[in-house]
Structure 1
Amino acid sequence: MGYIPEHLLENLRNYKYRGADKSLVSRYVLNPFWNWFVTLWPLSVAPNTITLTGLCIIIFNFATLIYYDPLYLVERDGYHEPPHWVYFTWGIGLFLYQTLDAIDGKQARRTGMAGPLGEMFDHGCDALNTTLGCLLANRALGLGRSWWTVASQIATLANFYLTTWEEYHTGVLFLGYFSGPVEGILMIVVIYFITGIFGPSIWENKIWTVLHLEHVSYLKKVPNIPLNKALIVFAIIGLAVNIFHSYLNVRQASRSSFGRPRQNSSYPPLVLLMPFVASTAIQIAWLSHPEYNNSYILHSASFVPFVLAWGFQFAHQVGRMILAHVTSAPFPLFDWIWIWSIIGAVDANLPHLIGRSPIFQTSPRHTAYVVWATLIISMLAYARFVTLVIRDITNYLGIACFTVRKKDEHGVWKSAQPEAKML
């Protein structure tokens, strides 16, 4: 069984990528560098290979976190401080990821491999990087296992979901003057470097104290919170601004011929934001359950696998959204992969719901079993989704995922589509 209905396969040939990047940093600083950097790659290297290489760098960064801070993953209240040089490798790795994520589209244009497969592959890797990057950034900020890390995860995933929701309705991937893939990543790179120099404790300093504004009268009513928490607050404010601008773009597209308004959806665009709200509410319900026999997840060793399972479920969710975008299919309102987290959330909240103890999560060890099982199932489900989608697209279009198409006797790329992925 595949994820693409047979009657929608033809829409793959009609797919055209369109993007709009208003970032001044991208236009005047990074894009000239990216145009040069892509020329270093031979034409025999497939764009998806470059994309996957970038994701592998982030996975390596996460592996160094677990290696140098094993207590983050195995002990309830323990931490090991990684060597300061590790944070520099995270910064370099994230910058390389951003660079490779930017040039894979340019490589697709050079090799004639632009199309729906590249769109799916690129967004799929980005979705996984979102959660891994969130865990790394919050560890560098010294937030660790806390509600602040959860808030950061929600804000990060919400931005990604919002961008995908907007692209589904408008047919255009919008990046504003300040966007996560450009300025957001550069800010995190700077955070890694600062942490590498001063250590995570630097972010515990109060924001107004650092700015020498603690004596300003009109700021005394504003909490003087630590720098790391202030960054999360700013991210949430930025999310609110992005929601507003995305809504305006979708509204404009629905009232004009610009973009690609969805006629096959019987729901208003704002209603289609509810799947993210629902999936997030499920995770919060599980995290905020009444503590029973010290089985609380948030401050335990189960927190990291919990967030990773959340990330795989989110990647599956937005992956289906992107697939609906490239095949002009109806918007996916429900994702069966949530069932595992629903079971965990209901079981953990049984003391609150019906006044009885949980069925499965009766101890920290049993809670860890449920969380790890959810992670494994979510990871396998997403791997199955990726495998089947790649199979369906490559078989139908007659292309390969990691092999560059050849030119015919006239110098034209075989099976190449006229559109080109620009980002």
Structure 2
Amino acid sequence: MAGSADPLSDEAMAHLKSYKYSSVDKSLISNHILRHYWNASVKLLPMWLAPNMVTLLGFFCILINVLFIQIYIPDLIGPGPTWVYYSFAAGLWMYSTMDNIDGKQARRTGTSSGLGELFDHGIDSLNCTLGSLCETAAMGLGPSKTGAFTALVPCLPMFFSTWETYHTHTLYLGAFNGPTEGLILACSAMAVSGYLGPQIWSYRIADYVTIPKDLPIPLEIPADLTFRDLWVPIILTTFFTAHLPACIYHVVKARRRDNLPIAPVFLEWLPMVLFTSSCCAWLASPHSILLAENHLLIFCLTLSFVFGRLTTKIILHHLTRRPFPYWTSSLAPLIGGAVMAWLPLFGFQRVSPVVERWYIYGYFVYAMVLYFAWAVRVINRICAVLDINCLTIKKRKIDLKEAKGFSNELKSTANGDVRSTKKEL
């Protein structure tokens, strides 16, 4: 990756022009069930609808539900109106549907490009904290440590999948993956909350599950163990035993294939270590008002832009074959907030609630402005280089050979080519 580190330089854009998307999806549900649903859904879209607009419409389904949280379940506990929980499930499902057919729409309209992958995964990064915030409200977790964990934990697998893609140039989705099976479970949990109420997750498991007494190894369910208590251990166990090892394996395999050193790639975890540790430190501080005064929603909105810029920069550098980006300036206030929350530990006076309140809202504005200024600059540059529009389809002539190629690709998709993936940007 020699040359200028600027991902928007002419040298970098040359790589973008020749970029081809690559992914592997081993999910049985995706390949044998949902594929038919996605193929049927994309045919409902008009040919004039741009793929990136399809992605954006799906994201609007999440944003609407975030607004519903603020209106109907501001304490993130509830219970709110029954229809809101069903709206959470429907919104997340529609987001997933749009996220999976935007690539198909791109191939269908002959508008596939590197910008499509950048836009798609950029929206995915923004959604990490917002879609999961709906899960926090749906389960009635409130502004608690468990609620904050639920809202922020999707950032971990998203970062490491992005890191994996940067090195392998292929998006790997395992037999059980978050975008498919994980999302189905999340939608199911939201629907259960709509049918039985969010309080169901606080019920004691021992009252509903009976273990046979004649088992070879005696088992006993703790009397106070609730369904909610299993939530964090299950998520962490899944991440550390399945997702993270798979990402490391694919990266190491790719580095060995290219005869490149392996150890340096683990230094690239630094931005995520800073992001995660700063979030945990700030939220866990007994001197902070983030959870005590229920500022979790504004915190998640802020981190949506912070994390979105962090991962989207990695995606951009992957597309343009630039050196790995270790830093984004929107991380600095997050680190500052973590330090501010623990000042009494170092002998300093505690920051007043008013100051911290202004700090988080100021951080939100800063992160949002920084994100959009950068995103607009990047999109405009790519659109100019590729001679395309971002949210509309630019009128152009398609020759007979090109049209025939699109027709063959669509025919292959219709026949259920299992090698095609969920996202075909």
- TM-score (normalised: structure 2): 0.88
Asked whether the equivalents of residues 51 and 125 of structure 1 are also in contact (C-alpha less than 8 Å), the reply is yes
Separation in 2, partners of 1:410, 1:332: 39
Q: Residue 37 of structure 2 aligns to a residue in which SS?
A: helix
Amino acid across the alignment from 2:265 = P
Q: Is residue 345 of structure 2 the alignment partner of residue 343 of structure 1?
A: no
RMSD: 2.6
User: What's the counterpart of residue 424 of structure 2?
Assistant: 422
Amino acid across the alignment from 2:69 = L
Separation in 1, partners of 2:254, 2:12: 23
Q: Residue 9 of structure 1 aligns to a residue in which SS?
A: helix
Q: Is residue 28 of structure 2 the alignment partner of residue 24 of structure 1?
A: yes
| Distance of aligned partners of 1:367 and 1:211 in 2 relative to their CA distance in 1, 3 Å threshold | same
Question: Which of 265, 268, 276 in structure 1 is aligned with 2:264?
Answer: 268
Amino acid across the alignment from 2:233 = V
- Structure 2, unmatched stretches of 5+, are 1-5, 410-419
Separation in 2, partners of 1:34, 1:163: 23
Q: How much has 1:298 moved relative to structure 2?
A: 2.0
Q: How much has 1:327 moved relative to structure 2?
A: 0.6
User: What's the counterpart of residue 52 of structure 2?
Assistant: 48
Q: Residue 40 of structure 1 aligns to a residue in which SS?
A: coil
| Distance of aligned partners of 1:208 and 1:251 in 2 relative to their CA distance in 1, 3 Å threshold | farther
User: What's the counterpart of residue 99 of structure 1?
Assistant: 97
| Distance of aligned partners of 1:268 and 1:224 in 2 relative to their CA distance in 1, 3 Å threshold | farther
User: What's the counterpart of residue 282 of structure 1?
Assistant: 278
Q: Residue 356 of structure 1 aligns to a residue in which SS?
A: coil
Separation in 2, partners of 1:333, 1:126: 20
User: What's the counterpart of residue 357 of structure 1?
Assistant: 349
User: What's the counterpart of residue 243 of structure 2?
Assistant: 242
Amino acid across the alignment from 1:207 = I
User: What's the counterpart of residue 414 of structure 2?
Assistant: none
Q: How much has 1:412 moved relative to structure 2?
A: 6.0
| Distance of aligned partners of 1:282 and 1:182 in 2 relative to their CA distance in 1, 3 Å threshold | same
Amino acid across the alignment from 1:389 = V
Q: Deviations over 1:89-122 (max 9, x none)?
A: 1111111111110000000111111111000110
Asked whether the equivalents of residues 201 and 226 of structure 2 are also in contact (C-alpha less than 8 Å), the reply is yes
| Distance of aligned partners of 1:205 and 1:213 in 2 relative to their CA distance in 1, 3 Å threshold | farther
User: What's the counterpart of residue 145 of structure 2?
Assistant: 147
Q: Deviations over 1:259-316 (max 9, x none)?
A: xx8x6x996222212320121111222223342xxx5322322222122212221111
User: What's the counterpart of residue 333 of structure 1?
Assistant: 326
| Distance of aligned partners of 1:223 and 1:282 in 2 relative to their CA distance in 1, 3 Å threshold | farther
Q: Residue 191 of structure 2 aligns to a residue in which SS?
A: helix
Question: Which of 75, 82, 85 in structure 2 is aligned with 1:84?
Answer: 82
Asked whether the equivalents of residues 98 and 181 of structure 1 are also in contact (C-alpha less than 8 Å), the reply is yes
Q: Deviations over 1:215-261 (max 9, x none)?
A: 6764338786321231232111111121111111112222226xxx8
Q: Residue 301 of structure 1 aligns to a residue in which SS?
A: coil
Separation in 1, partners of 2:205, 2:18: 51
User: What's the counterpart of residue 251 of structure 1?
Assistant: 252
Asked whether the equivalents of residues 208 and 214 of structure 1 are also in contact (C-alpha less than 8 Å), the reply is no
Amino acid across the alignment from 1:283 = C
Asked whether the equivalents of residues 290 and 352 of structure 1 are also in contact (C-alpha less than 8 Å), the reply is no
Structure 2 counterparts to residues 156-305 of structure 1, below 5 A? 156-213=154-211, 218-220=218-220, 225-240=225-240, 241-256=242-257, 268-291=264-287, 295-305=288-298
- Structure 1, unmatched stretches of 5+, are 73-78
Asked whether the equivalents of residues 105 and 114 of structure 1 are also in contact (C-alpha less than 8 Å), the reply is yes
Q: Residue 20 of structure 1 aligns to a residue in which SS?
A: strand
- Aligned identity (percent) is 32
User: What's the counterpart of residue 375 of structure 2?
Assistant: 386
Amino acid across the alignment from 1:422 = E
| Distance of aligned partners of 1:161 and 1:150 in 2 relative to their CA distance in 1, 3 Å threshold | same
Number of residue-to-residue matches in the alignment: 403
Q: Deviations over 1:49-69 (max 9, x none)?
A: 100000001100111111112
Separation in 2, partners of 1:226, 1:167: 37
Q: How much has 1:394 moved relative to structure 2?
A: 0.3
Q: Deviations over 1:175-211 (max 9, x none)?
A: 1011111011111111111100110111112335433
- TM-score (normalised: structure 1): 0.88
User: What's the counterpart of residue 395 of structure 1?
Assistant: 384
Separation in 1, partners of 2:93, 2:302: 25
